[in-house]
A and B are shown apart, each in its own frame.
Chain A
């Protein structure tokens, strides 16, 4: 297995946007690679190696010895990616014959400390490489492959490779680090390395099913009701280290230093992550803003403080408690919360009720914006992985449905690349009914047949084209559903909708019956 195979893989991953094909390409590669190359490739694709000895500037200097810097800058300006610019500018070898093993590169070049030696070696390697190979090597050095492969997608490709299920892989994934040699042994059947303890690792979340009317026939005393918070699901692993994982098992510890604390005992806590300031939970889009930040400054920590609403516990003082029933777990959880005594980690309170009717009243009343609905949990159930039948139920508020006017359409991706399937919709700015303001985007909720009709309508009602986007005549009304609405300073309209999707196309409805921006804003609680 050589550097060339990796280079071919990366180019193919870039060119194929289909998830299925990407998984197949990765799987084929892992099948064919030897054990060391598997590990190194995984390290590279997941950007797991933090050591950065050589910087982009060093590489720039390599090429600037060969070509005037004016030409380099003009080329970079055009290409927009330094690795690619260097790879295209490097003097072409008529018969490139790079014979470099990935593991040799990692051991003998990547991890060498002496910069001068490394740069000399790189120069020699580049001289016998193709552009693609140079590009690959630079990307390995600088990180950030941009081939559209998430960790989740890599994990899926590894399910087919070894003897482990996707849940198993997800749970141990964060326990391993580069070069992942031991991880591949585990995938193929070896036991977990000695240092890895279950209580330090991520655990798959227990998930809820949608509410089933049958449970209203049961005895309400067998259930607990809680608020369903509009934040992100998160798992907190407390020990001498501290870890925070998101719903899809991404490690988000570094984004939330304000939650961090350590303990001599191990605890694993399940809960909801929100932004809470002056005793008020802020809207979901504010939380998104915080998650997107790469650098967490003191300003952010002051303005957008994180808060963890705990509702379940999987490990208490190093002991597994997933086999206990919900009430016992809640007792342990409340013990834990009062013991740590932190303002930003609190207990999700249960709602007192003795009849189902009381909950129905509650759902019909105006629930706060940061509450999505209710969670109904059966007391006798253990904490299990995934969506377990008859255990937890989510009872969501009815979505809002509002009529809007279609404003722009954009082509989709993959199978939808010839269809205008991504829509921007809006409402009137004011009572003059002559100017629209965009409110949101929706890509789903319509059937294939409706998509065909929409596509045809877009093509026949285009005002202008801007690349893949078309502006549309203001004539078609669509009914949009969304789960929530909040203020937003990122949008021109000043509002942000949560999960907007089509609910109906109102071919019949006149556009002057669509509401004005003020009406939309009045929906915000």
Chain B
């Protein structure tokens, strides 16, 4: 029999909590048992006692947190159901970054799908998004406003390459988030036919090396840490967004500065960042993709979390879903 009221999955201050399974999903504070959707630091936090996640998620957490990544862990494979206390847990590819998952939780025939962060557009650096029918869909809302309609990533990469071709004497400093965005940009550049060595700020190297170790093809990259930066001219250098205006960036001669982010479609945001080359590439679903996903998953209820919930709740209700905001605090926009 299907339970009408799924009151066994609730919100606590640590995050979403499953009562019969006694576990949290992406808890904000250390807990006994945690299911981790993906390794971005606002979702995967250190010092949990026991974690459950994909191999890649756990290995990246280990790289980032060293000893404090957890006490114990269990690796799960995509689409391989696992039962704990009569609860069936399935990790489903979310297409967000390497190892990222949505988590399907079934109890007494009722299905909760927790999206984590997800995107539907193709990304060769991770397994592609898959949809899933469910009764309650918990969706992210990072880009939950109709002003967000991500352009084609290939066109955005073209913009970068055109600038590189036009400004032969100038290095291109491009701000990317270290996990996911960096490697996706590398892969997109290779697909666009860019064969030169691409240079990496030291902070991007560890994770990129991990991607390479997992067989992801990103071509030739080089760590800038031991190079004379002023000699880099017609090159692409990827760095964390915070390094774009940091002391480190002074060593480059007349650089063109860019940032890759889904926020870069808003002029005053670009202006604030003080850059010349905004590239609108996001690892999150945009407004239309969130709506499309919800329709495909066809839930009775939708819970909207982290991001711009209000507009999305409004629109989903209008489309006939019973939607409300989950109001979880602590997940950040910065990782985009």
Contact = CB atoms under 8 A, between A and B. Distances in A.
Interface in B235-283: 245-247, 249-250, 265-268, 270-271, 274-278
B333 to A, nearest CB: 12
Interface stretch (B71-79, B87-95, B309-317): B309-317
A74 B308 contact: yes
A70 B147 contact: no
Contact of A89 (B146, B247, B267, B308): B146
Contacts of A16: 276
Interface residues of A, number: 27
Contacts of A67: 146
A219 to B, nearest CB: 54
| Residue among B146, B249, B266, B315 facing the most chain A CB atoms (10 A cut-off) | B146
A345 interface: no
A79 B276 CA distance: 20
B293 interface: no
Given A14-B267, A79-B266, A418-B246, A68 B147 contact: no
A85 B146 CA distance: 10
Contact of B270 (A15, A78, A92): A15
Contacts of A74: 145, 308, 310-311, 314
Interface string B290-326: 0000000000000000001011001100100000000
Contact of B314 (A70, A84, A89): A70
A14 B264 CA distance: 13
Contacts of B149: 88, 92
A85 B267 CA distance: 11
A15 B247 CA distance: 22
A84 B266 CA distance: 8
Interface string B128-149: 0000000000000000011111
A17 interface: yes
Given A74-B311, A84-B266, A417 B274 contact: yes
A186 to B, nearest CB: 34
Contacts of A80: 268
B268 A75 contact: no
Nearest to A74: B311
B268 to A, nearest CB: 6
Interface in A226-260: none
B147 A78 contact: yes
Interface string B181-212: 00000000000000000000000000000000
A92 to B, nearest CB: 6
A413 interface: yes
Interface in A408-467: 411, 413, 417-418, 455, 459
Interface of B: 145-149, 245-247, 249-250, 265-268, 270-271, 274-278, 308, 310-311, 314-315, 318
Given A84-B268, A417-B245, 5 more contacts: A15-B275, A74-B311, A84-B266, A85-B147, A418-B246
30 contacts: A15-B276, A15-B278, A67-B146, A70-B314, A71-B315, A74-B145, A74-B310, A74-B311, A74-B314, A75-B146, A75-B147, A78-B147, A79-B266, A79-B268, A84-B267, A84-B268, A88-B146, A88-B147, A88-B148, A88-B149, A88-B266, A89-B146, A89-B147, A131-B265, A135-B267, A413-B274, A417-B274, A418-B247, A455-B247, A459-B247
